[in-house]
């Protein structure tokens, strides 16, 4: 059957492959991603309509890993290098607890809840309790926030300007700037204001920029903000230490002149100018007017005004090859580390054992899952317990029915679960949803705390990505 699928895919006029957490958070994580790309590249399903394509990045979230970059550095304990600019969460507790004098001593947590959502809750509790400084920026009093030295409350998503950087479309690339719907409640601030105030208090940037403010008052889209950006560039030449804080400087100066309290969107203006310069032809093809000086400003104005989003650029399929990052514009298929992993694949064991015979999919995405803001248990109209789904035959073996309780035990820990018999589960495989284990008003955890079962060491050897979708467990009936 596998051979037939591969032959059909290879012979298809068009084919596209898109992977997700099922094979990204399981055994052979990095190898899976490599082989998935080989699958469509080797048969030519790339750079054409209906196939896999690259896309442009409007918000520069990801970076390349380059050892020649002076900012490149490995971590102290694990000697781990950043992948696309990021370090994996599995190594952070060790870098806090085991790295000696060069250990991580302070952590800023913004819009996430590592204590609950990252692997090995117990390790994170110990590590974060040992920090000299833990600051949380969030809209909810999360489990991580309860350990913090300082909690900085942010506007909710309904009270602020907001956008996502994951514009993944091709050949048309979209972007949606979401407008605030309500006036902010309570003593909260948008993140742009929080971080700018911190930089000012630290003395990293001045509290006043008289010249930039003066020019910003006179400059406008009609002049393409040329005077303002010329003055900004001059200030950076005079003081290069300000360059890393350019987002806050533009927010504090030019941002204050934008209509409808849209100061937080000011960073989009230089991004629009950069994007339009890099993809000039594609932005023009999307219908925007202007020359190389004014095109980015016109794009920014459209983003501000069109509440339903805009098309940033329209590419041709031949443009895909220009988006390949290598100088030779070729895709380099042979990656030595991956070829070694592939050769060793037949030596791999499945990870389960007589002691832990079940595979737990920890953190299944279900139709009613929500995020860490969804804390009041009264809001959960479906599956308030976050039930453990299991195959009917396995349920018969244990003598349980939907609504019964079991203990789910891994090598690392155990939690109580409520059973749901589900025809969609394979025999020997069980699943639990993410988004549970939250505490409301200081009460007990509600639903499964998945990462009481996971370990920092249970991860991909190359990328350190956790094996959330392959946690060996056993099930037991609770003691009477």
Task: Look up the domain containing 45 and give its range.
Answer: 2-54+334-342
- Which one of 342, 376, 407 terminates a domain? 342
pLDDT score of 351 more than 90: no
Same domain, 338 and 355: no
In a domain, 195, yes or no: no
Same domain, 454 and 381: yes
Same domain, 338 and 455: no
Same domain, 338 and 401: no
pLDDT value of residue 370: 65
* Cβ atoms of 91 and 464 closer than 8 Å: yes
- Which one of 285, 319, 342 terminates a domain? 342
Same domain, 403 and 338: no
CA separation for the pair 380, 259 (Å, rounded): 39
Same domain, 470 and 412: yes
Same domain, 338 and 445: no
In a domain, 293, yes or no: no
pLDDT score of 7 more than 80: yes
Among 103, 114, 167, CA closest to 136: 114
In a domain, 22, yes or no: yes
State what percent of residues in the chain have pLDDT above 70.
100
Same domain, 443 and 389: yes
Same domain, 432 and 372: yes
pLDDT score of 409 more than 90: yes
In angstroms, the Cα distances linking 353 to 174, 349, 411 are: 48, 10, 11
pTM of the model: 0.92
Q: What is the pLDDT of residues 92-137, one digit of tens each?
A: 999 999 999 999 999 999 999 999 999 999 999 999 999 999 999 9
Mean predicted confidence (pLDDT) in 29-38: 95
- Kindly report the CATH number assigned to the domain that includes residue 424: 2.40.40.20
Same domain, 338 and 454: no
In a domain, 464, yes or no: yes
Query: What residues are paired with 420 via a beta bridge?
Result: 389
pLDDT score of 268 more than 90: yes
Same domain, 338 and 384: no
CA separation for the pair 324, 330 (Å, rounded): 7
Give the total number of structural domains in the chain. 2
pLDDT value of residue 164: 85
Q: What is the pLDDT of residues 177-222, one digit of tens each?
A: 999 999 998 899 999 999 999 999 999 999 999 999 999 888 887 8
Same domain, 338 and 368: no
In angstroms, the Cα distances linking 161 to 186, 263, 266, 272, 367 are: 17, 9, 11, 17, 27
- Which one of 287, 315, 342 terminates a domain? 342
In a domain, 244, yes or no: no
């Amino acid at each position: 059957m596998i051979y037939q699928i591969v032959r059909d895919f290879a012979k298809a006029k068009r084919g596209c492959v898109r992977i997700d957490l099922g094979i990204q958070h399981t055994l052979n994580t990095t190898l899976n991603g490599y082989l998935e790309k080989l699958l469509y590249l080797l048969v030519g399903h790339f750079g054409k309509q209906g196939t896999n394509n690259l896309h442009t990045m409007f918000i520069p979230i990801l970076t390349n890993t380059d050892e020649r970059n002076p900012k490149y550095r490995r971590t102290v304990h694990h000697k781990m290098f950043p992948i696309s600019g990021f370090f994996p969460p599995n190594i952070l507790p060790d870098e806090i607890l085991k790295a000696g004098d060069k250990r991580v001593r302070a952590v800023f947590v913004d819009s996430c809840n590592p204590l609950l959502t990252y692997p090995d809750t117990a390790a994170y509790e110990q590590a974060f309790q040992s920090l000299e400084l833990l600051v949380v920026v969030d809209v909810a009093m999360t489990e991580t926030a309860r350990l913090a030295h300082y909690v900085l409350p942010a506007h909710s998503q309904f009270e602020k300007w907001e956008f996502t950087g994951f514009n993944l479309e091709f050949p048309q690339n979209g972007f949606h700037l979401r407008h605030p719907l309500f006036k902010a409640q309570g003593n909260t601030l948008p993140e742009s204001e929080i971080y700018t105030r911190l930089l000012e208090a630290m003395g990293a940037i001045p509290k006043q920029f008289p010249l930039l403010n003066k020019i910003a008052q006179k400059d406008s889209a009609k002049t393409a903000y040329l005077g303002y950006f010329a003055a900004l560039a001059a200030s950076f030449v005079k003081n290069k230490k300000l360059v890393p804080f350019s987002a806050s400087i533009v927010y504090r100066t030019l941002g204050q002149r934008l209509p409808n309290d849209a100061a937080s969107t000011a960073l989009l203006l230089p991004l629009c100018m950069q994007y339009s310069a890099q993809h000039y032809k594609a932005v023009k093809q999307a219908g925007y007017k202007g020359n190389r000086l004014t095109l980015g400003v016109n794009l920014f104005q459209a983003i501000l005004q069109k509440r339903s989003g805009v098309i940033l650029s329209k590419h041709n399929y031949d443009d895909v090859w220009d988006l390949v990052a290598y100088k030779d514009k070729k895709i380099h298929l042979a990656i030595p580390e991956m070829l070694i992993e592939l050769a060793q694949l037949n030596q791999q064991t499945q990870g389960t054992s007589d002691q832990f015979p079940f595979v737990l999919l920890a953190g299944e995405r279900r139709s009613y899952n929500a995020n860490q803001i969804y804390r009041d248990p009264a809001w959960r109209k479906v599956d308030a317990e976050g039930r453990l789904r299991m195959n009917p035959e396995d349920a018969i073996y244990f003598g349980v029915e939907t609504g019964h309780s079991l203990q789910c035990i891994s090598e690392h820990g155990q939690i109580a679960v409520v059973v749901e018999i589900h025809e969609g589960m394979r025999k020997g495989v069980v699943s639990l949803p993410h988004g549970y284990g939250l505490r409301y008003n200081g009460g007990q955890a509600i639903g499964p705390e998945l990462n009481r079962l996971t370990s920092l060491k249970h991860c991909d050897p190359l990328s350190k990505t956790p094996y959330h979708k392959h946690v060996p467990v056993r099930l037991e009936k609770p003691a009477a």
